[in-house]
Amino acid sequence: MHRIMKIGIDILGVDAPEKIINFINTYKDDEVELYVYGMEKELVKVTKTENIVKNLCTEQVFMEDDSARVHRKKKDASMIRLLEDLKNDVIDVAISGGSTGAFMASSIFMLGRIEGVSKPGLASLLPTRSDHKFLLTDLGANVEARPEDILNYAKLGQLYMKYIYNIETPSVALLNVGVEETKGNKVYKEAHQLLKSNIPNFNGNIESRNILEHTNDIVVSEGFAGNIMLKTIEGVAGSLGKMVKGIFMQNLKTKIGGLLVKSGINAFRKKFDYSEYGGAFLLGIKKPSIKVHGASDENALYYAVQQAKQIHKTKLYDIMIETMEKGEQK
């Protein structure tokens, strides 16, 4: 008999806590026990009792809080209590939609870095033109990274894609301003050489215009470029959807045409809907913490929990620690 998984969810810090609460009240999974963290006014709305553990908190982390100090200043905040329970093995995976800066900093301070990783990075799956997804990292945890940090993102990313998606040797590319080895600043040039020497199936540089073609399983960069790339994809997808809708709403003929291609348009929207991809996770810390979008709804939480289950079942973070600290090839 398998031990039931304990997944922690921070109710606070998101745009619509009622959507998180609705997910908690309706989620059914015999493999999972949900540990929920919030203040009294939120927890009283959690009416489900089976496989639910409520954790009453008296504080909340806000966007304006000092990210580097909030884990010491607000010890009874829902986010900090969540991470404290993860640190102490009360729960197996932590999920929060609160302040990204506070969540990243608190995760690093409270959970610790894997040996050899100086700057953990944020990673997330993104859609491509095909049915496959790719992993993009770093998404903004470190706007200034060293070549060695980018190498670590590639190593950890390969482990994720291997054990979660069963890709034996995931392909890796470096996001850059050109495909030639000589492109980019000093950090990118040195990162290219490190990746070329240390990463199996490294395909060199990739330009942003080709990133959605699924020529690679993993794309790495420092956090400044990675965050711009992520938000550009989100923004273009959203704007393109609105543009297409506007075209089909011009007159009766275009509206009829729109009805004929409605299923295709909906499929496009679904492909680029962030809620379909779970959350971003920190690569390089010792325990799995997942950061979901602040605008997350029931669908986003569902996929984040499925992501958490995969990470826990595969013992991915134990493998990452063993591989990075002991240098063993898994």
For residue 185, the model assigns a pLDDT of 93
Separation of alpha carbons 32 and 84, rounded Å: 19
Domain with CATH 3.40.718.10 in the chain: 5-117+284-326, 123-274
Q: What's this model's pTM, rounded to 2 decimal places?
A: 0.90
For residue 273, the model assigns a pLDDT of 73
Q: Residue 34 pairs with which residues in a beta bridge?
A: 7, 52
Express each pLDDT in 186-215 by its tens digit. 999 999 999 999 999 999 999 999 999 989
Say how far residue 89 (Cα) sits from the centre of its chain: 21
Separation of alpha carbons 61 and 37, rounded Å: 12
Q: What is the CATH number that goes with domain 123-274?
A: 3.40.718.10
Question: Which CATH architecture describes the domain 5-117+284-326?
Answer: 3-Layer(aba) Sandwich (3.40)
Placement of tokens 């962030």 in the chain = 274
- SS in 3 state form for 247-310? HHCCCHHHHHHHHHCHHHHHHHHHHCCHHHHCCEEEECECCCEEECCCCCCHHHHHHHHHHHHH
For residue 8, the model assigns a pLDDT of 97
Express each pLDDT in 4-44 by its tens digit. 999 999 999 899 999 999 999 999 999 999 999 999 999 99
Smallest CA-to-CA distance from 33 within 103, 107, 92, 97 is with 92
On whether the CB atoms of residues 218 and 171 are closer than 8 A, the answer is yes
Helices 186-198 and 147-165 pack at an angle, to 10 degrees, of 40
Separation of alpha carbons 324 and 316, rounded Å: 12
Instruction: Give 3-state DSSP helix, strand, coil % of the chain, rounded to 5.
Output: 45, 15, 35
For residue 24, the model assigns a pLDDT of 96
| Strands (E) located in 48-90 | 52-56
Query: Which regions of the chain are under pLDDT 50?
Result: 1
On whether the CB atoms of residues 324 and 117 are closer than 8 A, the answer is yes
On whether the CB atoms of residues 27 and 5 are closer than 8 A, the answer is no
On whether the CB atoms of residues 100 and 61 are closer than 8 A, the answer is no
Separation of alpha carbons 243 and 232, rounded Å: 16
For residue 166, the model assigns a pLDDT of 94
